[in-house]
């Protein structure tokens, strides 16, 4: 058993615990900031790409393609201008044959803050949040929707919950719920008697028939029901406004003005093994020639969005890098100040036979260890910080982001922090190298 170099370094660090802890925390904050930013940037983009899934086109009547994607796929705001039945029929007639799927959707209702997407069964059988899922290819590598519990809806007034929506509202298969018009908080059927809200579609109870597995997309926080139910409950509102004595509305009461959709998810048919089609540009051009609709290529819009925020992203990462450099300066100052107090220790080590080179190595390793401890603490901080950021994004923007740390990038940041720490130890190491033994071994006082 002997006294190792690490023991010497450990005693040195623990002898000035306050300085050591504050320095490590300073480094950790910088690493947390950097890793969280990098993780959220990559995960955010992945979340956006997962949200658009395997659709090629999104048709709506929003003011621009980008707004169309944000509203129609990411539930930023319920689209204000619907596509009516006649237009839907015309689009279906003109284009459905060229499409692998043509899935109409309608938004506008919510349940406890979670958006409700009324759609058709094809939403689950043909559309998927996995961009690689080709519904026409039996050998497709992509994954379709998966149920954690229950089944997909196949009748009016059945509802399927996204994974996050189910977790946050606590519903179970078999529960009855009432949705609200707009985004006001709704409540379970059981709560309705106690606190009635005039915005609740109180005459129509939905039954929860399924809960989805997490998809890592914006759809995880949504509820899915069929279009007919949605048309019926809004037709009921219309009919009651016209005649307050109306107590029931069925599919037979629907008129053309009730049959509205806010978006159409479309995928052009592709060959097996391919996710693109040469027909897309031509179809896109034809659709864009129609001034009454807005046509978006979701992936292009996501690229546009990230180009817009890209410069902000770079500024944030540059700021995080600056914080990392300043944390390196903090290491240098901590060690430099401690070297002033440790000259006698260095002189004693030199008398005992420790070479100048070894003294320098001890200081550099100590410095690098401060960087390493900071990097490890920073990684832990980033794991927590990114979850907090993801929660904030989910709650405030509705974007479901699953923070993922790229192993290579994480290792690079951790390695850079250790190297930065070691570099920060250079000046203190020079001070140690130049310590005069004779001057520092004199009796004190």
Partner 1 sequence: MAAALQISDLRFRYPGTDHDTVRINTLSLEAGEQVLLTGASGEGKSTLLQLIAGLMEPTSGTIRVKGENVHFMRGAERDLFRGTSIGMIFQTFNLLQGFSAAENVMMALKFSGAPKSGHRSRAVELLSTMGLDTPDREVTQLSVGQQQRVAVARAAATHPVLVLADEPTASLDPEAGEAAMGLIQETCRSIGAALVCTSHDPAMAERFERRESLGSLREAAQGQGV
Shortest distance in whole angstroms from residue 442 CB to partner 1: 8
Shortest distance in whole angstroms from residue 346 CB to partner 1: 10
Query: Both tokens of residue 66?
Result: 């980008």
If the CB atoms of residues 312 and 352 are measured against partner 1, the closer one turns out to be 352
Q: 97, 30, 51: which is closest to 331 by C-alpha?
A: 30
Shortest distance in whole angstroms from residue 321 CB to partner 1: 36
If the CB atoms of residues 9 and 400 are measured against partner 1, the closer one turns out to be 9
Q: Kindly give, in sequence order, each residue whose CB lies less than 8 Å from that of residue 167, ignoring residues fewer than 6 positions away.
A: none
| Contact between residue 265 and residue 106 where contact means Cβ atoms under 8 Å apart | no
Which helix (H) or strand (E) segment holds residue 67: the answer is helix 65-72
**If DSSP codes are grouped into helix, strand and coil, which group holds residue 361?**
helix
Shortest distance in whole angstroms from residue 112 CB to partner 1: 59
| Contact between residue 266 and residue 96 where contact means Cβ atoms under 8 Å apart | no
- CA atoms of 45 and 387, how far apart (whole Å): 16
What value does the CA radius of gyration of the chain take, rounded to a whole number of Å?
A: 31
Q: Counting every residue, how long is the chain?
A: 445
If the CB atoms of residues 140 and 435 are measured against partner 1, the closer one turns out to be 435
- CA atoms of 416 and 342, how far apart (whole Å): 27
Q: 164, 148, 165: which is closest to 211 by C-alpha?
A: 148
If the CB atoms of residues 1 and 241 are measured against partner 1, the closer one turns out to be 1
If the CB atoms of residues 238 and 356 are measured against partner 1, the closer one turns out to be 356
If the CB atoms of residues 4 and 311 are measured against partner 1, the closer one turns out to be 4
Shortest distance in whole angstroms from residue 344 CB to partner 1: 7
Shortest distance in whole angstroms from residue 441 CB to partner 1: 6
Shortest distance in whole angstroms from residue 10 CB to partner 1: 10
Q: Could you identify the residue written with the tokens 């692998």?
A: 100
Residues that bind partner 1 (CB under 8 A): 1-3, 7, 11-12, 14-15, 344-345, 347-358, 437-438, 441-444
If the CB atoms of residues 7 and 337 are measured against partner 1, the closer one turns out to be 7
Q: Give whole-number Cα distances, 101 to 59, 92, 128, 139, in Å.
A: 13, 10, 11, 18
If the CB atoms of residues 12 and 262 are measured against partner 1, the closer one turns out to be 12
- CA atoms of 421 and 74, how far apart (whole Å): 42
- CA atoms of 427 and 121, how far apart (whole Å): 68
Residue 200's CB: how many other CB atoms inside 10 A? 21
Shortest distance in whole angstroms from residue 364 CB to partner 1: 16
Q: Give whole-number Cα distances, 27 to 120, 141, 406, 422, in Å.
A: 52, 42, 20, 13
Residue 251's CB: how many other CB atoms inside 10 A? 12
Parallel/antiparallel/unpaired status of strands 158-161 and 206-212: parallel
Query: Both tokens of residue 160?
Result: 């399927």
Query: Both tokens of residue 236?
Result: 């009921």
Can you list the positions of beta strands (E) in 272-429?
294-296
If the CB atoms of residues 291 and 443 are measured against partner 1, the closer one turns out to be 443
Which helix (H) or strand (E) segment holds residue 35: the answer is helix 17-52
If the CB atoms of residues 93 and 438 are measured against partner 1, the closer one turns out to be 438
If the CB atoms of residues 45 and 356 are measured against partner 1, the closer one turns out to be 356
């Amino acid at each position: 058993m002997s006294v190792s170099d690490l023991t010497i370094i450990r005693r040195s660090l623990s002898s000035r615990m306050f300085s050591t802890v504050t320095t490590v925390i300073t480094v950790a904050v910088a690493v947390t900031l950097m890793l969280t930013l990098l993780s959220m940037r990559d995960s955010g983009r992945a979340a956006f790409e997962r949200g658009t899934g395997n659709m090629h086109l999104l048709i709506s009547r929003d003011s621009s393609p980008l707004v169309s994607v944000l509203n129609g796929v990411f539930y930023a705001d319920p689209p204000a201008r619907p596509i009516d039945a006649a237009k839907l029929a015309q689009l279906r007639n003109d284009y459905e044959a060229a499409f692998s799927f043509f899935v109409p959707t309608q938004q506008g209702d919510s349940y406890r803050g979670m958006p409700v997407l009324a759609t058709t069964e094809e939403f689950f059988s043909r559309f998927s949040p996995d961009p690689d899922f080709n519904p026409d290819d039996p050998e497709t590598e992509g994954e379709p929707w998966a149920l954690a519990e229950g089944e997909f809806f196949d009748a009016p007034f059945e509802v399927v919950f996204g994974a996050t929506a189910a977790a946050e509202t606590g519903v179970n298969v078999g529960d009855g719920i009432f949705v609200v018009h707009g985004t006001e908080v709704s409540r379970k059927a059981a709560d309705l008697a106690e606190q009635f809200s005039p915005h609740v579609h109180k005459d129509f109870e939905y039954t929860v028939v399924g809960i989805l597995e997490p998809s890592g997309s914006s759809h995880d926080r949504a509820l899915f029901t069929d279009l007919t139910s949605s048309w019926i409950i809004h037709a009921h509102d219309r009919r009651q406004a016209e005649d307050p004595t109306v107590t029931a509305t069925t599919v037979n009461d629907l008129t053309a003005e009730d049959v509205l959709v806010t978006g159409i998810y479309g995928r052009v048919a592709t060959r097996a093994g391919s996710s693109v089609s040469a027909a897309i540009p031509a179809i896109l051009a034809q659709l864009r020639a129609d001034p009454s609709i807005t046509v978006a290529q979701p992936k292009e819009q996501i690229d546009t969005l990230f180009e817009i925020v890209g410069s902000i992203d770079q500024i944030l990462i540059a700021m995080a890098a600056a914080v990392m450099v300043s944390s390196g300066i903090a290491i240098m100052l901590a060690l430099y100040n401690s070297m002033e107090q440790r000259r006698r220790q260095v002189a004693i080590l030199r008398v005992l036979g420790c070479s100048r080179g070894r003294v320098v190595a001890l200081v550099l390793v100590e410095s690098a260890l401060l960087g390493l401890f900071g990097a490890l603490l920073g990684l832990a901080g980033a794991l927590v910080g990114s979850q907090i950021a993801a929660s904030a994004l989910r709650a405030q923007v509705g974007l479901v982001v699953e923070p993922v740390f790229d192993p290579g990038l994480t290792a690079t940041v951790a390695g850079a922090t250790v190297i930065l720490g070691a570099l920060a130890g250079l000046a203190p190491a020079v001070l140690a190298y130049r310590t005069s033994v004779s001057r520092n071994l004199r009796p004190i006082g």
